[in-house]
Amino acid sequence: MQDQFSFKQFRVSDDRREVFFDYELGHNSQTYGLTESLRFPVPLLDTPAQQRSLRALHIALGISYYKIFLPASMAHPYAMDEPEADFWNDVWQHGLGEFLYVNKVSSDRLARFSQQDGQTFEPPAADAQASGALLGIGGGKDSIVAGELLKALDVPFDGFVMATGEQLGQTGQVAETMQVPLHAVGRQLDKQLLELQTEPGAMQGHVPISLIFGLVGTALAVALAKRYVVVANEASASMPQVDWNDVAVNHQWSKSFGFERSLQASIQKYIAPQVCYFSAIRQLTSVGVAKIFSNYPAYFEVFTSDNFVFRIDPAKRPAGRWSLESPKSLSSYILLAPWLDNESVQRIFGLDFLNQASLKPLFLSLMGVEGEPPLDCVGTVPELVLSLNLLAQADRYGNTVLMQLAKENCVIVQKDWQAELAAMLELQPEQALPSELQDGVLQFLQARLAQ
């Protein structure tokens, strides 16, 4: 029997707060029924737009189960035109790019979506009453900058987060400091997932989680009649890390500008025309984000940029807000340090990451000196090299282990870095802002970068 993956149906609970997404996975003559659920903090509507949002989530969530064995055959019950099939094929190929690279599997293995007849919902119609925004809050500096931007523009907004299990990371404290309501959507993976991943031939790896996050925000926006779903993805999220089988592999592909435009168009065509998904800080480099964030000390003791705090297994989470094992923790330290005094750096991180000998291999890979680049949401090599050289020019942290290592490997260079700094503090050209917010966003970013 040929291996096959099937998207069966989605079911909404009687209180309309919980949705169950059913799948069937056939492998080696065995058939597994799988169900994932999302628990929403508000009742979902009984409207075509809401149904369409759940249809999209049904497809997106299925990628976590499809990838276990990569069946060559895939089936779903929905009517789908060719442009939408192209959208989902793009998600499968590029969203699983890191997964394919890590498992050394060709994209030729992937099943493909195609145009087909099937279950239909009423055509999407715009909700003229939609207003305000939902901001995705991950607890890090990016979403904090985006939140302060929305506040400065007087755009009313709530926060939202998707939590696997009960782990909200620092999002609650960040939302409280930001003084906005936080809507937490609980995600429950099928309990068979971990067991299936131990089967012979099973594979594990990264999925395009920001796609799922964006669609969860869209479903919530429809339920709450919100106009905008706002995320905080900066310019460097579009930069791939490695090539695999002539395909650029980007850990942050579902945070990239190309994907932002694609998802924005797909939501408005296939789900809800009134909902606009966009990144509020797309035109910032990571250096620009760090500079702007440094002006908001109220968040220094509550935020974290360490994704390890969201690990499902509590035993694998760091004891505090940062961990020495996380590439993003070290990256954040390097990016922020030039814009803060030593006391503030210590207040945020609790220890000097640049004086940790255990971080030498990770540091050299972040700097592009040796080893494979970390597949994580980290600063680019030029952003991190510039940040270190700004510290060196200010005669800070010079005697630390990693600054000495940077000097030995010619990462620290005696020259005028002002041209590189000016380029990093310029607004980058790519953006997908709604037209009515463009001027306000640009004025805010330019003013904060010039401070």
Q: What is the mean pLDDT of the chain?
A: 93
Question: What band does 285 get if pLDDT is binned at 50, 70 and 90?
Answer: very high
Segment 33-79, tens digit of pLDDT = 999 999 999 999 999 999 999 999 999 999 999 999 999 999 999 99
Residue 363 pLDDT more than 60? yes
CB 366 within 8 A of CB 374: yes
Closest listed residue to residue 275, CA positions, set 122, 88, 134: 134
- ∠ Cα 84 88 92 (to 5°): 165
pLDDT at 315: 62
Residue matched to tokens 């799948």: 23
Split at pLDDT 50, 70, 90, the class of 29 is: confident
239 and 380 Cβ atoms separated by less than 8 Å: yes
Amino acid at 178: M
CB proximity list for 14: less than 8 A, separation 6 or greater: none
Please report the DSSP string for 193-235 in residue order.
HHHHTTSTT-------HHHHHHHHHHHHHHHHT-SEEEE---G
What is the per-residue pLDDT for 373? 81
Percent of the residues in the chain that have a pLDDT greater than 70, as a whole number: 96
Q: What is the pLDDT of residue 224?
A: 97
Give residue 241's pLDDT: 78
**CB neighbour class for 57 (10 Å; exposed up to 12, middle 13-18, buried from 19):** buried
Taking CA atoms, 297 is separated from 84, 291, 293, 300, in Å, by 44, 12, 8, 5
Instruction: Give pLDDT tens digits for 122-141.
Output: 988 878 899 999 999 988 99
Cα 130 from chain centroid?
A: 25
pLDDT of residue 314: 63
Distance CA 372, CA 349 (A): 26
CA distance 91 to 410: 39
pTM of the complete model: 0.94
How confident is the model at residue 2, as a pLDDT? 74
**Nearest to 79, CA basis, from 96, 59, 109, 64:** 59
Above 60 in pLDDT, residue 446? Answer: yes
Question: 166-211 pLDDT, tens per residue?
Answer: 567 689 999 999 999 999 999 999 999 989 999 999 999 989 999 9
Q: Which of 265, 331, 330 is nearest to 124 (CA)?
A: 265
The pLDDT of residue 152 is 98
User: 311 pLDDT exceeds 70?
Assistant: no
Q: List pLDDT tens digits, range 74-104.
A: 999 999 999 999 999 999 999 999 999 999 9
Angstrom distance (rounded) from CA 236 to CA 285: 6
What is the per-residue DSSP string for 138-184? -SSHHHHHHHHHHHHTT--EEEEEEEETT--TTHHHHHHHHT--EEE
State residue 135's pLDDT score: 98
What is the model's pLDDT at position 247?
A: 77
Indicate the pLDDT class of residue 372, thresholds 50, 70 and 90: confident
pLDDT at 240: 81
pLDDT value at residue 167: 61
The mean pLDDT of 408-436, rounded to a whole number, is 96
- Longest CA span, the chain: 67
> Which pLDDT score is estimated for 165?
63
3-class SS string, 62-125: CHHHHCCCCCCEEECCECECHHHHHHHHHHHHHHCHHHHHHHCCCHHHCCCCCCECCECCCCCC
pLDDT value, residue 359: 96
